[in-house]
Amino acid sequence: MAEVYTEPTPSAFGANPTDPGTPLPLSADDRSALDGLAAAFSRDAYAPGASSAAAGRVAQGAGASAAASHGVHAAAPRPAGSPILSVRSIEKVFGSRDSVTHALAGVSFDVAAGEFVGIMGPSGSGKTTLLNCVSTIDTVTSGHIIVGGRDITGMSRRQLAKFRRDDLGFIFQDSNLLDTLTGFENISLALTIKGEPARSIPGKVNAMAARLGVDGVLSKYPYQMSGGQKQRVAAARAMVCDPKLILADEPTGALDSRAATVMLEIMEMMNTQMGATIMMVTHDAFAASYTNRVLFIKDGAVFNELRRGDESRDAFFARIMEVVSFLGGEAGHVS
């Protein structure tokens, strides 16, 4: 029932003219949504399960000049049910009466099950605030965030804690492993907090560690691990509970390029083979090129969106770089 449409993909920034304009897997709603810039990125724009081989072609976010939209019906089946994550025009306001800062000024987007979404944006764009709101670490000023069909913006502290342990998995920049616990215990903790029966824990932990290639460091403490190993253990901790959504905050930010590549491949594997839905905040275009879709946030609003489709990673990377350099260039002009 999913519909796909193509777009000529004229670059909003004039830097992306070679986009083949192949069909895009998007919901019907999105066709009209993509007609206008603001609408394009405030609506339910999502690709179908990235694990499916029929991952859509790139959805090129239109710039101010790109208003054209093309509705094409996709062959790829849309995953059953509503999106895993629906962000509906959320706002986050900091400060007092005198000096108000809109960290988020009406952000809306959806993430479908099985998607690997990247959130990019310059410093101060609000991407971390967005992640904090989605992860329920911070609260929104207005708007709604719906995860798995439940609105989390109205939940009590207790419910939020339960929601975090049952539905979310976290991967942080600095791994945030507990330094007093071994790798095994760090991964187990996610399960014990959930109240998982003790007898089933070692099996799950060992299996997950083996898949992520950290079974060799399970008995080590974080200070005995390399940065990459720590991040993969953190990934295992996030995955072991089989959460609805994994939130990754600059997971490669503290890694050297080799470790970063391994980590990204692991995350890609988590997404394609293990069916994890991942939302990753990053400022690194290389990291973002591993995703299916990249949302650009600027000044508290979704500014642009890129879809990878079946494009090669290098090509996707090139397109991301164009947006990034545009954002950077624009910032340069302004300043």
Partner 1 sequence: MYLKLALRNIRRSVRDYAIYFITLLFGVAVFYAFNSIGSQQILFDMESSASASVFESTTQLLGMFSVVVACVLGFLILYANQFLIRRRKREFGTYLVLGMTPGHVSRIVLYETVLVGLISLAVGLICGVLLSQALSFFTAALFGTTMSNYQFVFSPDALVVTLACFAAIYVVVALFNTFTVSRCKLIDLIRAGERNERAGVRNPWACLVVFVAAIAVLAYAYQQLIANGLVMLDQPEFVRATIAMLVGSLMFFWSLAGFAIAVLTRLRGVYLRKLNLFTVRQIASKVNTAFLSLWAVCVLLFFSITVFSSGMGFVEVFVGGVEKANPYSATLSAGVWYGPDGTTGSSAGERERRAEMEADAPDRLALAEEYDWDMAAALEAGAPELWAETIGAWAQVSMWSLPDMTYDPIIDAAETVASPEAMRIDDLGKVRDTAVAVMSLSDFNAARTLQGQPAVNLEPGTCGLVNNMEIVNALAEAVAKAAPTITVADQELTVAGPIYDTQLEDNAMAATALIFVVPDEAVEALGAEGLIPTTQTLNVMYADNGKTAAENDTALGDIVAATQPSDMGGFEQGRSGAGNAYANLLWPVTRIITAHEMTDQSAGMRLMITYLALYIGFIFLVSTAAILAIQQLSQASDSAPRYRILSKLGCDAGMIYRSLLIQVLVYFLVPLALAVCHAACAIGVLSDSMFDAIGVNTFTPIMMAAGLTIVIYGGYMLVTYLAARGIAKTALTEG
User: What DSSP letter does each residue of 239-259 carry, written as one string?
Assistant: HTT--SEEEEESTTTTS-HHH
DSSP string, 55-116: PPPP-BPP-TT---------SSPPPSSS-SEEEEEEEEEEE-SSSEEEEEEEEEEEE-TT-E
Q: What share of the chain is helix, strand, coil (3-state, %, to 5)?
A: 35, 20, 45
**202 is a contact residue toward partner 1 (CB under 8 A):** yes
> Per CB under 8 A, does 145 bind partner 1?
no
Contact set for partner 1, span 153-172 (CB under 8 A): 157-158, 161-166, 168, 170, 172
Is the CB of 26 or the CB of 190 nearer to partner 1? 190
String marking each residue 216-245 x if it binds partner 1 according to CB under 8 A: -----xxx-------------x--------
CB contact at 8 A, 260 and 139: no
Smallest distance, partner 1 to C-beta of residue 223, A: 5
With beta carbons less than 8 A apart as the criterion, state whether 323 and 305 touch: no
Contact pick of 28, 54, 67, 189 for partner 1 (by CB under 8 A): 189
Shortest distance, CB of residue 292 to partner 1, whole angstroms? Answer: 25
89 Ramachandran zone, left/alpha/beta (phi>0; psi -120 to 50): left
Beta carbon of residue 146, minimum distance to partner 1 (angstroms, whole number): 19
CA distance 110 to 82: 10
Taking CB under 8 A as the criterion, the residue among 101, 192, 226, 273 binding partner 1 is 192
Q: By CB under 8 A, is residue 273 in contact with partner 1?
A: no
135 forms part of the interface with partner 1 (CB under 8 A): yes
The helix (run of H) or strand (run of E) holding residue 139 is none
Distance in Å, CB of 198 to partner 1, minimum: 4
Q: Is 137 in the site for partner 1 (CB under 8 A)?
A: yes
Residues of the shown chain interacting with partner 1 in the complex, contacts defined by CB under 8 A: 135, 137, 157-158, 161-166, 168, 170, 172, 176, 178-181, 185, 188-196, 198-199, 201-202, 221-223, 237
